[in-house]
């Protein structure tokens, strides 16, 4: 019995010693491994505001007709190049010729009557001086002469009008360019009774084009003429093309209480691959830093769970500012409908103006007219250190860090590792500072619309 107890005690001791040794020698999880980090970087940072627009020729001339008639000759078709003065089409002139002959005959009759009344008035003046006719008869002859002169002038005007109508039956190109629209066919009758019908549209020069884009009123103060732009079109999705702001038009457009303004952007089209009516996705550059110290926006959005709960419980200024920042980031990343408002359904609308601004990076608040945020540095002992930073421009993925108001050095340095999220077990969704804004790329990249 005593031997059995000794054996049991020995086995228990071995289990305790073995468990302790296993716990001691078992590889410990690296405290650093639970955080995902990204380094503070230095480089070019470009802030843009974005919108969609339509490519248009600089000048489009609508060719119409001032006379009615049937199209007898049609000399051009779509995409034909034309020169100024070239005959585009001719209308049937049979009725116009008949009208011209009639007015010419009327004019000949009026001139003959004028010749007769002129001689008659001369005779009446002579007879009146000899007291053979009364003053009333002389006045009647003078009146007939004036009426005959007026009839001649009227007849000449009618002949001139009919001649102009004859010439207008031959439609010539007012400018040199390319036919982009044809709304008439051979044998078709066109009527110009109440308004001038449009027969053709001619773009003067497709080597120079313009984009008309609608920008939100919140972005308008930062858009000025001569600012550089980039844009893409669906026909060439891998090409980013340059442009330049030409004009900010002051005529607002209101749709569902959302106010937008038309911004005209000049673009070159030397190879004429860009066509009228194409949708252009435009970025206007409103800020650039060539050697900016920048942090990822995910680092600005990240909050340790305990810190977030503590600030939320206090309900202080920090919590309210961070929450407001995060709400702005969520709204900015949400697709927008045609009116420019956030679309809760998640369907993106390409016609809504968008901008890349501070709303893209959460976790900050406005202090003293400047945007501020907090980032967390992972120290050697695995602990996090909070650093308050003053924010500059952003491109939606990275944000510039500025010196404090009374400081000369930056609070973070290039290469310093910032926490952007936490690792999770396999198969779990990693915790980060929030998803990147939909459609945003890295520095200098265009947002894509779907």
pLDDT at residue 32 greater than cutoff 60: no
Query: For residue 349, what are its two tokens?
Result: 């609308």
Q: What angle do CA 71, 75, 79 make, to 5 degrees?
A: 120
CB 241 within 8 A of CB 232: yes
- What is the average pLDDT value for the chain, to the nearest integer? 80
User: According to the model, what pLDDT value does residue 317 have?
Assistant: 45
Instruction: Using alpha carbons, list the distances in angstroms from residue 35 to 101, 295, 322, 424, 448.
Output: 96, 16, 21, 9, 30
Which domains can be identified in the chain, with CATH numbers? 50-56+205-291 (2.40.30.170), 66-189 (1.10.287.470)
Q: Residues 171-180: pLDDT tens digits?
A: 999 999 999 9
pLDDT tens digits along 388-397: 999 999 988 9
pTM > 0.75: yes or no: no
> At 435, is the pLDDT very low, low, confident or very high (cuts 50, 70, 90)?
very low
pLDDT band at 410 (very low <50, low <70, confident <90, very high): confident
330, pLDDT greater than 90: no
pLDDT digit string, tens, across residues 251-289: 999 999 999 999 999 999 999 999 999 999 999 999 999
**Could you tell me the end-to-end alpha-carbon distance of the chain, in angstroms, rounded to an integer?**
82
pLDDT digits (tens, 9 = 90+) for 285-324: 999 999 999 999 999 999 987 665 455 444 444 444 443 4
pLDDT tens, position by position, 131-189 = 888 899 989 999 999 999 999 999 999 999 999 999 999 999 999 999 999 999 999 99
* 104 Cβ neighbours under 8 A, 6+ residues apart: 159
Residue carrying the six token digits 């100024």: 84
pLDDT of residue 8: 65
In three state form, how does the secondary structure of 368-424 look?
CCEEEEEEEEECCCCCEEEEEEEEEEECCCEEEEECCCCCCCCCCCCCCEEEEEECC
Average confidence (pLDDT) over 102-123: 94
């Amino acid at each position: 019995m005593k031997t059995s107890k000794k054996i049991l005690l020995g086995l228990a001791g071995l289990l305790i010693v073995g468990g302790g040794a296993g716990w001691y020698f078992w590889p410990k999880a690296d405290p650093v491994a639970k955080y995902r980090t990204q380094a503070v970087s230095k480089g070019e940072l470009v802030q843009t505001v974005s919108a969609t627009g339509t490519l248009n020729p600089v000048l489009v001339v609508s060719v119409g007709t001032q006379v009615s008639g049937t199209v007898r000759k049609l000399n051009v078709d779509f995409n034909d190049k034309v020169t100024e003065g070239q005959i585009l089409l001719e209308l049937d002139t049979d009725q116009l010729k008949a009208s011209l002959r009639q007015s010419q005959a009327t004019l000949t009759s009026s001139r003959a009557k004028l010749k007769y009344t002129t001689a008659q008035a001369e005779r009446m003046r002579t007879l009146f001086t000899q007291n053979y006719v009364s003053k009333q008869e002389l006045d009647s002859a003078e009146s007939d002469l004036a009426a005959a002169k007026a009839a001649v002038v009227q007849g000449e005007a009618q002949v001139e009008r009919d001649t102009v109508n004859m010439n207008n039956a031959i439609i010539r190109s007012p400018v040199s360019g390319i036919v982009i629209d044809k709304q008439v066919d051979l044998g078709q009758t066109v009527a110009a009774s109440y308004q001038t019908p449009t027969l053709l549209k001619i773009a003067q020069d497709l080597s120079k084009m313009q984009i008309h884009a609608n920008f939100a009123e919140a972005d308008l103060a930062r858009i000025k003429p001569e600012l550089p732009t980039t844009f893409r079109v669906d026909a060439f999705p891998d090409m980013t093309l340059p442009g330049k702001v030409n004009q900010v038009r002051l005529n607002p457009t209101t749709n569902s209480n959302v106010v937008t303004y038309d911004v005209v952007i000049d673009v070159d089209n030397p190879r004429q691959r860009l066509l009228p009516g194409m949708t252009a996705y435009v970025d206007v550059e409103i800020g650039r830093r060539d050697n900016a110290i920048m942090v990822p926006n995910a680092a600005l959005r990240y909050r340790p769970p305990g810190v977030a709960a503590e600030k939320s419980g206090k309900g202080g200024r920090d919590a309210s500012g961070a929450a407001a920042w995060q709400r702005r980031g969520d709204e900015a990343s949400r697709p927008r409908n045609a009116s420019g408002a956030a679309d809760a359904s998640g369907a993106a609308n390409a016609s809504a103006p968008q901008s890349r601004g501070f709303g893209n990076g959460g976790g900050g608040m406005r202090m003293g007219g400047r945007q501020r945020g907090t980032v967390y540095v992972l120290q050697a002992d695995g602990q996090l250190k909070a650093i308050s930073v003053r924010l500059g421009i952003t491109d939606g993925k990275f944000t510039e860090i500025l010196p404090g108001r009374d400081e000369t050095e930056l609070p973070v340095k290039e290469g310093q590792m910032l926490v952007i999220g936490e690792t999770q077990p396999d198969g779990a969704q990693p915790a980060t500072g929030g998803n990147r804004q939909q459609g945003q790329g890295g520095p200098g990249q265009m947002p894509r619309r779907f």
